[in-house]
């Protein structure tokens, strides 16, 4: 696997869609070529919370859909830039380091002056959609074409089910060019020391449905983790933030 960074994702997508985005990173050539060769009607990016490189392989049997997509597409070992969700997602969508975008908690989500890929594309006449937890969607309301907030809840299977249903319906909208969604079951199970195989199987089922919707629109599906899982064995100081898989597929 080639090593890239979370910061490459937004510049690469911006280059593909022909919008300008400020980042210290250049577009990632291999990923850009993958997009240009397929000219997808829609690009869907799903962030799977806490899916790191170790879990991607140890849960391979449960994440069958992801491995199938990866084997027919591309998979990168992707360096993360933080160990928490909100700044990680902001870095994925802006191509900036947390200290550059300044988004560390949901309080700052609405106050950062930095526009993410979602707003940049929508402003350029390429409609976008975002499906995530209600707090994270607030600054996007009225800024992009489709915003689907899902309230946080105890039943994380129900939560991810709603994220998936909304994601499928936004992907189906003919005019939409870029969709962002965030699935959380693996992260919730990791925090509570519950059976990760069950969370991975749930995630796999949801990704199968999303992949089918993306396929029906001849779209590209990008899938990545946001940070290394918060498991007991990962709770010691490390020299780097660790890696997550980034899959590029044409389902």
Give the binding site for Zn ion (CB under 5 A). 49, 85, 187, 226
Shortest separation between residue 13's beta carbon and Zn ion, angstroms: 20
Shortest separation between residue 226's beta carbon and Zn ion, angstroms: 4
- Measured from each CB, the residue nearest to Zn ion is 85
Query: Smaller CB distance to Zn ion: residue 197 or 230?
Result: 230
110 Cα distance to chain centroid: 19
Query: Smaller CB distance to Zn ion: residue 122 or 226?
Result: 226
Query: Smaller CB distance to Zn ion: residue 51 or 69?
Result: 51
| Alpha helices per DSSP H over 85-155 | 85-94, 98-101, 106-109, 117-123, 134-137
Query: Smaller CB distance to Zn ion: residue 55 or 220?
Result: 55
d(CA 29, CA 168): 29
Shortest separation between residue 103's beta carbon and Zn ion, angstroms: 14
Query: Smaller CB distance to Zn ion: residue 152 or 175?
Result: 152
| Alpha helices per DSSP H over the chain | 9-17, 29-38, 53-58, 64-72, 85-94, 98-101, 106-109, 117-123, 134-137, 156-171, 185-191, 196-216
Shortest separation between residue 85's beta carbon and Zn ion, angstroms: 3
| Burial (Cβ within 10 Å: 0-12, 13-18, ≥19) of residue 157 | middle
Shortest separation between residue 47's beta carbon and Zn ion, angstroms: 8
């Amino acid at each position: 696997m080639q090593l890239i960074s979370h910061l490459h994702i937004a510049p690469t997508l911006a280059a593909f869609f022909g919008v300008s985005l400020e980042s210290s990173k250049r577009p990632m050539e291999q990923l850009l070529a993958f997009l240009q060769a397929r000219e997808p009607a829609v690009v869907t990016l799903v962030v799977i919370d806490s899916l790191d490189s170790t879990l991607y392989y140890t849960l391979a049997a449960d994440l069958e859909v992801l491995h199938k997509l990866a084997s027919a597409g591309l998979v990168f070992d992707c360096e993360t830039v933080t160990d928490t969700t909100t700044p990680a997602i902001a870095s994925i969508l802006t191509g900036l380091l947390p200290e550059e975008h300044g988004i560390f908690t949901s309080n700052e989500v609405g106050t950062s002056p930095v526009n993410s890929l979602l707003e940049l594309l929508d402003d350029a006449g390429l409609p976008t959609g975002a499906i995530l937890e209600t707090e994270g969607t607030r600054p996007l309301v009225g800024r992009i074409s489709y915003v689907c907030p899902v309230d946080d809840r105890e039943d994380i299977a129900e939560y991810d089910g709603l994220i998936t249903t909304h994601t499928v319906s936004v992907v189906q909208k003919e005019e939409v060019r870029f969709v962002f969604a965030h699935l959380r079951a693996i992260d919730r199970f990791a925090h509570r020391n519950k059976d990760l195989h069950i969370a991975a199987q749930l995630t796999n089922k949801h990704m199968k449905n999303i992949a089918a919707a993306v396929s029906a629109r001849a779209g590209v599906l990008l899938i990545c983790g946001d940070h290394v899982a918060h498991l007991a064995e990962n709770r010691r100081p490390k020299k780097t933030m660790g890696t997550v898989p980034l899959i590029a597929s044409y389902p």
